[in-house]
Copies of this chain bind each other. A is one copy, B any other.
Amino acid sequence: MPDSQSPKPNTREAILDAAEAVVTEEGAGRLTIDAVVARSGFSKGGVLYHFPSKIALLEGMVARLMGTIEHDLEAAETAAQQAGEPVASHLLRVIADKRHLESDLPVALLAASAEQPHLLDPARALNQRLWERIRDASSDPIQALILLLVIDGMSFNDLIKFKQFSDEDRAAVKARLIAMSKDLFQ
């Protein structure tokens, strides 16, 4: 099905790229429309045509990030099914994956959500769906919850650079989590 609606290379994506670059290279505090304009090469009018407000831009950034994560989750699911392994543990592995948290992008969106509480709603929804799937696939919901909370705790600590973990700590925690998830998923 050819895309007759948008023949041009996607300007929206280029703007979102620029916005992410601003955040990761200049910091969350420098994410202004002017900065995105300067970095994208488009004019202010051009940027504001695609994202009529700063909130719209932030929503676009959240939506794209959620899309990326969903894509990773679906890939993990497919891989698990093909390998005949429990899907839930693969989903857990994706959640524990640090890659999506390594840039300053999630911090920037988190910060922006303090002013616009609804901004993270898509992230909340994805998070909740995922937790419910893992819970329902487990033989012990509370054990599953504890497992997820350990991962959440580690992720959040990494995100805002609170507790600093050594590689040994990480490896040891991971080993325990694997032990704790023995026989948890069918």
Contacts and interface: CB of A to CB of B under 8 A. Distances in A.
Given A27-B114, A145-B169, 17 more contacts: A28-B115, A110-B114, A113-B160, A117-B161, A123-B162, A124-B162, A127-B163, A128-B163, A142-B176, A148-B153, A149-B154, A149-B173, A150-B153, A152-B153, A152-B156, A153-B153, A153-B154
A157 to B, nearest CB: 6
Interface string A95-131: 0000000001001101111111100100110011001
Nearest to A23: B114
16 contacts: A107-B114, A111-B112, A111-B114, A120-B160, A124-B161, A127-B163, A128-B163, A142-B169, A142-B172, A145-B169, A145-B173, A146-B176, A149-B149, A152-B154, A153-B154, A156-B156
Contacts of A148: 153, 163
Interface in A139-186: 142-143, 145-146, 148-154, 156-157, 160-164, 169, 172-173, 176
Given A142-B176, A149-B153, A153-B150, A164 B114 contact: no
